[in-house]
Amino acid sequence: MLVSAINMLLRDHEFDSLEDLCANFDKEVEELKAYLLQHGYTYSEAQKQMRPVGYDE
């Protein structure tokens, strides 16, 4: 659900970047990325969204 919310906020242009999104919610970008990586997701800068690890390979 967290991944869906992040992707929706980025896709719908609520935030211009993952950094802006994290700043708004007072979270550290690297901590969020590390947490989601533990759960099988990584951030794609090109796609501007969280994606399953290995999806783009």
Distance of alpha carbon 39 from alpha carbon 26, whole angstroms:
21
* pLDDT (0 to 100) of residue 57: 60
Question: Distance (Å, rounded) from C-alpha 19 to C-alpha 22?
Answer: 5
Strand 41-44 and strand 49-52: pairing?
Answer: antiparallel
What's the pLDDT score for residue 55? 81
Which pLDDT score is estimated for 41? 97
CA dist 8 and 6 (Å) reads: 5
Closest CA to 4 of 55, 57, 52: 52
Q: Provide the pLDDT for residue 13.
A: 85
Model pLDDT for residues 4-54, shown as the tens digit of each residue: 999 999 999 889 999 999 999 999 999 999 999 999 999 999 899 999 998
Q: Kindly report the pTM of this predicted structure.
A: 0.86
